[in-house]
Amino acid sequence: MKKIIVSPSILSADFANLEQECRSLEQCGADWIHCDVMDGSFVPNLTFGMPVVKSIRRCVSIPLDVHLMIDKPERYVQQFAEAGADFITFHIEATESVSQTIRLIHSCGKKAGLSVKPNTPIGALTPYRGLFDLVLVMSVEPGFGGQEFMPSAIEKIQRAKQLFPNVIVEVDGGINKDTAKQVIDAGVDAIVAGSAIFGAPDRRLAIEHIRKGR
């Protein structure tokens, strides 16, 4: 049985104690740390940029899973790579230069991910088959944490596994131990979770519950 990757989203962290929060995640068994970068244009929220990613990189040794919810992400790939991102994921809806952006990420020595909003079919990624390393299925509308899981994501995960069997399929949005079971059963490889981990009295246990879907 494969081990599910758990990537806690720091969007739910206490930013006044970010170093301590990130170290806690690593010590509690997180596989990656998910960094949600939002620009207030592609999505209706603002979060953080390269300096925060660079600061997190100094605190932990596990991979940084950077999700760019920004317009024209190609403008900032090199800066996020230099800041310490290991995976750089961007939305196909955010750029007209998808293939070029993937190549740019790879030229920086990083893994490239593609993501789609809930209303974008997973088949929209097929023109780029063989180019990317990860597909991120959004199970909420990107922009804010704490939203409810959209059941339509289940079919998209299954379809992604069929279309792209050799890439990591990740899901983000509304994940708790109950919805984790649903996405694991659908074949997901990596799970992003925020409040279900940061709001738990025992983060190690919360990570294991999500990893095992129970």
Question: What does the alpha-carbon distance between residue 129 and residue 17 come to, in Å, rounded to a whole number?
Answer: 40
State both tokens at 133: 């390393």
pTM reported for the whole predicted model: 0.96
pLDDT at 2: 83
pLDDT in tens, the chain (214 residues): 789 999 999 999 999 999 999 999 999 999 999 999 999 999 989 999 999 999 999 999 999 999 999 999 999 999 999 999 999 999 999 999 999 999 999 999 999 999 999 999 999 999 999 999 999 999 998 876 667 899 999 999 999 999 999 999 999 999 988 899 999 999 999 999 999 999 999 999 999 999 998 8
Reduced to 3 DSSP states, what percent helix, strand and coil does the chain have, rounded to the nearest 5? 45, 20, 35
Please list the active-site residues.
36, 172
User: Residue 145: phi, psi to the nearest 5?
Assistant: -85, 170
- The CATH class given to the 5-212 domain equals alpha beta
Q: At what angle do helices 152-163 and 177-186 cross, to 10 degrees?
A: 30
Domain residue ranges in the chain: 5-212
* Three-state DSSP state, 146: coil
